[in-house]
Structure 1
Amino acid sequence: MKLYLSPRAPNPRRVTMFIAEKNLTGIEEVVVDLGTNEHKGDAYLARNPFAGVPALELDDGRVLSESRAICTYLEGLQPEPNLMGTTSDERAFIEMADRRMELSLFGSIANCIRHTHPGLAALEQPQFHDFGHAQGKKMLVVARWLDQHLAQTPFVAAGRFTIADITAFCALEFARGLMKFHPAEMGLTHLQAYRDRIAERPGA
């Protein structure tokens, strides 16, 4: 299999962290240069018509091109260590938590960065600065909720490390790098401790 990615992009990091946590080997990494718009070239669009990274090309030539879908495939390929739930009940609650992290935390961070950071101007045309700043404020609402949630439990879902933690951690790292977001500076001590603890995992 081949995993098409851009090392600095947050969604590929979600998948590579999932792969590391699974101890999966034998997946070839192919770097796609977003800076030169390689992801918009005919060769890459033939694999993913939506031009996003990552994309996983299977041995039979089929391509999966959404992070959650890629992880679902890999979970089926190697069920242990389990990251997505072992029962229908657990799977549902983990997926709920993961979707919250993806849509409300990760999504707000991505929109803020894409529409306010000058380094992303070439990739996001047009940029809507007011929208981006509004998304940054929405992210803080979610971060405050997550801080309180993590005061009660060490992980985002199921009382153990799951895909929801991968999504949350990669979102926080994206914000740390390009939004200069440090939870402790805003009094979010539980969120900061969580980020620091997850960062110590080999997969991170």
Structure 2
Amino acid sequence: MTAAMVENDQTSEGRPWDYLLRTWRELDVPEGWRAEIDAEQIVLVPPPHAPHAHHNGIAAKVQRRLYRDLPEELEIYQTLGIHVAALDKLCVPDLVVMPSGLVDAADPEINDPMDAAEALLVVEVTAKGNARDDRTKKYRAYARAGVPMYLLIDRFDTRGAMATPFTEPNEDGTYKHSDPVPFGKPLVLPEPFGATLRTDEFPV
């Protein structure tokens, strides 16, 4: 993750979040990069590069498998900004599953993030430079937002490459349950997904 691109302008009117959101809407982010809001600043997340290109391959395999059994009213989004209201945090996960009607109803001219509380599943695939954020900051953020399932696919876990679904979020920023699955074993996702991820197909 890069250093802060835009910090809160103390001379601006309104809450820091309002100023940062206005700035975020107007950013012209380079292709492949993601702009997120964290700790009252905007940061740019670079795209994965070789030797980290496997990141995109894993996300693509997860997306392809989810589509096989996903109910029609749900959609998978790759570059969707979601707002964690409790923390004034804006994340752009690798994958988000959300009711398509909510996204379709949003005003494209405003370019506001969606409410993270409406997401049914958030997927993050760690890169070497941001794995800690995915394990800690984003884990807490998605739990605080009430995201029912956070799937962390961590090729850099100290135990070895691991895919961990976290379920039953608490308001204190933790999940009650986690079920880590090492790469090589199938990972079964509950309804409404009903999918089995073949982690042995994930590139490492």
- What TM bracket, shorter-length normalisation? under 0.3
When normalised by structure 1's length, the TM-score is: 0.28
Relative contact order (alpha carbons < 8 A, sep ≥ 6): 1 or 2 greater? 1
When normalised by structure 2's length, the TM-score is: 0.28
